[in-house]
Amino acid sequence: MIMNEVLRLYPLAATVIRTMHKDTKLGNMTLPSGIKLLLPIILIHNYHDIWGKDATMFKPKRFSQGIAKATKNQQVSYLPFSWGHRICIENNFALIEAKLALVMILQRFSFKLSPSYTHAPTYAVNLQP
């Protein structure tokens, strides 16, 4: 739940760009082939209609019943590793690696937040603290 919530609030990429290879109907619009579609993952992951009024808050419990319940059965609204046939092939490895790293760190250290810390992540190619 914590990993899912962290990836929702701080996805690895802020946006993804996809090229339409054939005319595609999206709602009441028709997207012609050849155009590039920019998907703002960071905005989708903070959309209040899907995630609720507390969309910007860190609430791991929103994933307690799985991704489908957290997204109100709109699973394509949670895309930390993209979606469909273009999904990152390393997503399972990345999650396992992150969990193992976190366990190894938590076994050996204790933490406290610096009083001068200001949370302000920035985007370059990917999200950075």
pLDDT of 129: 65
Average pLDDT over residues 7-25: 89
pLDDT of 64: 95
Q: Count CB-CB contacts under 10 A for residue 47.
A: 14
CA angle, 75 then 77 then 81, to 5°:
90
Q: Where are the domains of the chain?
A: 2-111
Of 84 and 81, the one with more pLDDT? 81
User: How far apart (Å, rounded) are the C-alpha atoms in residues 64 and 125?
Assistant: 31
- What is the reported pTM? 0.72
